[in-house]
């Protein structure tokens, strides 16, 4: 489980955003964890329209490294 640094709620969905978009919508910070709901809200407040794509199994943490989606 991850904990969103904005709403402080736990969330289970692993997701990723392009570095530039993440930094822009995260106050210039590269790190941190934000749930999809909060990130989507911030995007709308900044005039960004996001789309979400579902996938299974391997989560692309870094190039060449993956995290299996079922890991807690
Ligand atoms: Zn949140």
CA of 7 to the centre of ligand 1 (A): 4
CA of 14 to the centre of ligand 1 (A): 13
Residue 47 backbone class (left: φ over 0; alpha: ψ -120 to 50; beta: rest): left
CA of 45 to the centre of ligand 1 (A): 15
* pLDDT tens-place values along the chain, 72 residues long: 899 999 999 999 889 899 999 999 999 999 999 999 999 999 999 999 999 988 887 776 665 666 666 655
In this prediction, residue 58 carries a pLDDT of 75
**Closest alpha carbon to 25 in 11, 10, 41:** 41
The b/e string for 31-66 (b: 16+ C-beta within 10 A; e otherwise) is eeebbeebbbebbeeeeeeeeeeeeeeeeeeeeeee
Domain boundaries, the chain: 2-68
CA of 13 to the centre of ligand 1 (A): 12
CA of 10 to the centre of ligand 1 (A): 8
């Amino acid at each position: 489980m991850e904990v969103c640094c904005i709403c402080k709620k736990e969330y289970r969905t692993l997701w990723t955003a392009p570095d530039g978009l993440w930094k822009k919508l995260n106050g210039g910070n590269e790190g941190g964890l934000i749930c999809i709901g909060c990130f989507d809200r911030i995007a709308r407040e900044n005039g960004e329209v996001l789309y979400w794509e579902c996938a299974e199994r391997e989560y692309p943490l870094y190039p060449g490294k993956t995290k299996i989606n079922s890991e807690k």
